Each structure stands twice: as C-alpha cells, then as structure tokens.
Amino acid sequence: MTGATTLRDRIRDKALALGFDAVGFTEARLGPEARTRLADFLASGAHGEMDWLTGRQEQRGDPRALWPEARSVVSLGLSYAPDEDPRAIQGRPDRGGISVYARNRDYHDVVKGMLKHLAQFIVKASGQAGVKVFVDTAPVMEKPLAEQAGLGWQGKHTNLVSRRHGSWLFLGEIYTSLELPPSDRPAGSCGSCTACLAACPTDAFPAPYRLDARRCISYLTIEHAGPIPHEFRPAIGNRIYGCDDCLAACPWNRFATTAREAKLQAREDLRAPPLAELAALDDAGFRARFSGSPIKRIGRNRFVRNVLIAIGNSRDPGLAAAARALAGDPDPVVAEAALWAAEQLGPS
C-alpha cells in the first residue's frame, strides 16, 4: 500500500467521521463529454437568465483553469433525503410546497463548514497540500466530477443518482495539489427508466439528460425574477419554492435513508405552511421567518409572487381575500400575480 493510498484512506475515514455520506477521488480534469454538454446547454439558451453560468465557462470545464495547482479532487456527498414523499403536499392546495433541500438551514453553510474541517485535516495530514473548497457557487462542474469520483452517475434528470442515496445528495468539492489515486467507478445507470422525465409537470426535459431550465419549476420560482409566464402557472400548482418531482420519482430513492444531519431535516413550520399566512409577510416578516434559510436569498417579493401563483391554483375561494389584499402591492410583479390569483378564484 503506497503512502498516497494510505493518505487517501485516512481522508475518506475523516470525511465519514465528519458526517459526509459519500466520498470519492478523481483527477482534477474533466472529460470532453462534460465540457461538450456544458457548451451545448449554454449555446441553446436553456440556462435562461442564469448569466453567471456563461461568465467563467473555461474554468467550469477545466478544474486547472480555475486553480492551476489542482491535481486531485475530493468529491463529497451529504444526504438530505426526506422522511416523507415531498409530493404529498400537492394534495393540500391551501398549503405551500417547499423543496426538500430548503426546509431548514442553508446547505451552502452546512456543507462548507464540514468541507473546511476536512480541508484542515488534509493539510495537517499531508504536511504540504494546497486545498480549496467549493459548494455550488463557484465555477465547478460538481456532478461530472462526482460521477468520475464514483459517487454515482448523472441521471436522465441531469442530477446525480447514487445507488445508496438515490437523488438526494448535496455535493461539495475539495481541490488539492496532492496526487491521490482515483476511486473506482461502480456500475450504475438509469437503464430504460424514464420516471423522472414523465414526472416533470412542465415538460422541462426535451430529451433524456437534457434540461431546459426555462421550463423548470425550480428555475421559475427561484432564479426567474419577473412575472412567471402564464403558460406554466397552472402546472406549478402549490409549489412555492423549487420542485422535487423529478428527484422524488427516481426508483433508486427506495434505498435512501433519512438525512442524519439535523440542520437538513425539515422544520415543522416549513413542511406545509399555510398560503394565506405566507402571503401576508412583509419584508421584515419574510426575513425573520427565513433567517438562515436558502429561501431568504430570493427576497420577499419573488417569494410572495410564488405564493400568489399557488393561491390562484388552489381553487379555494377562502384565499381570494389574501390575493386581493396584494393587488396594490408596490412591487408590480407581486401586484400582477395578485390580480391573476384573484381572477382565478372568481369574483369577490
């Protein structure tokens, strides 16, 4: 057993001891398929308003373009598997559906804290390593790197699928100057299954392994800043922040166990919050309710816009007053959504 292999095993053991559920190693390079997929996605305009994806395309496609000293990547996964099927909320139209990942603390903070502890261990254990940690916000193609590192494979819904954790994994990376032996890539694939594609309410997948974000409910409720196009509003249902349908439909989830990290387990007040209560939030109330949550970053106006779309889809005349109360909101996007919702629920 070589010294590099021994160190790799120590890093793996430490990662698991810190609470990570999956860990793998790969060379700090990406194959041409990943770079081509990124280029095609951006060229098609399927990224919508997410212009930050185009600004550092070279660094995204080549870890060494981001950090020339990188030689290996430690890819980490942290399960956020729910304790219930998140689609059940769709049967309660007076309540709001919040994506599983956003029902408690911001995962960026949770994962980054764990990564920093592991990075410190790597530096101390190696005596020389350079390290950099990344969680989602940097120009890093985390899913192809995780696939190379043996954590799973990119499913037809474009997200990573794990044999042990299904579709419920947060990903993080440590770039290091160490030369570490790569992990084996265990067999696994989606086969002929298309459950995730069929589950999408807005037909956001023009083909397997291809996503058109402009049609995706997660994109529309989180990244999209203006009025939500009318053609998508009915399909949004009562989803007010993100959508889990394609993830929840994956058959591999039957092997997933509920997230162990307490900060990722659902807050009771975010499992099925009443739409009328959320519509009444002003800016201060929104910030207080979602302090420490990833929901906070979209701001009150965008969030209340989403709530109003859900109210309009509820078919509940009892929610009409909540919609009409916002028809004169100072934010024109909120006001338009309020008028639309009131119209869907009929005359006062």
200 known member of a binding site: yes
283 is catalytic: no
Amino acid in position 326: L
196 marked as part of a ligand binding site: yes
Long-range contacts of 29-38 (CB under 8 A, 24+ apart): 29/62, 29/63, 29/64, 30/61, 30/62, 30/63, 30/141, 30/144, 30/145, 30/148, 31/144, 31/148, 34/61, 34/141, 34/144, 35/61, 35/62, 37/209, 38/141
Would you say 250 is a known binding-site residue?
Answer: yes
Q: ∠228-167-131 over CA atoms, to 5°?
A: 100
Is 218 annotated as belonging to a binding site? yes
300 a known binding residue?
Answer: no
User: Residues with Cβ < 8 Å from 210, sequence gap 6 or more?
Assistant: 41, 46, 158
Would the annotation count 215 as a binding residue? no
Q: Is 190 annotated as a binding residue?
A: yes
CA torsion sign, 300 to 302 to 305 to 306? negative
Residue of 94, 136, 316, 331 with catalytic role? 136
239 belongs to an annotated ligand binding site: no
With residue 97 as reference, give the H or E element that holds it: strand 97-98
Please indicate if the annotation marks 246 as binding a ligand. yes
216 labelled as ligand-binding? yes
End-to-end CA distance of the chain: 76
Residue 84 C-beta-side C-alpha neighbours within 13 Å = 13
Residues in the chain: 348
Binding site per annotation, positions: 60, 136, 160, 171, 190, 193, 196, 200, 216, 218, 243-244, 246, 250
Q: Binding-site residues for [4Fe-4S] cluster, please?
A: 190, 193, 196, 200, 216, 243, 246, 250
Just list the catalytic residues. 136
Which residues sit in the known binding site for cob(II)alamin? Answer: 60, 136, 160, 171, 218, 243-244
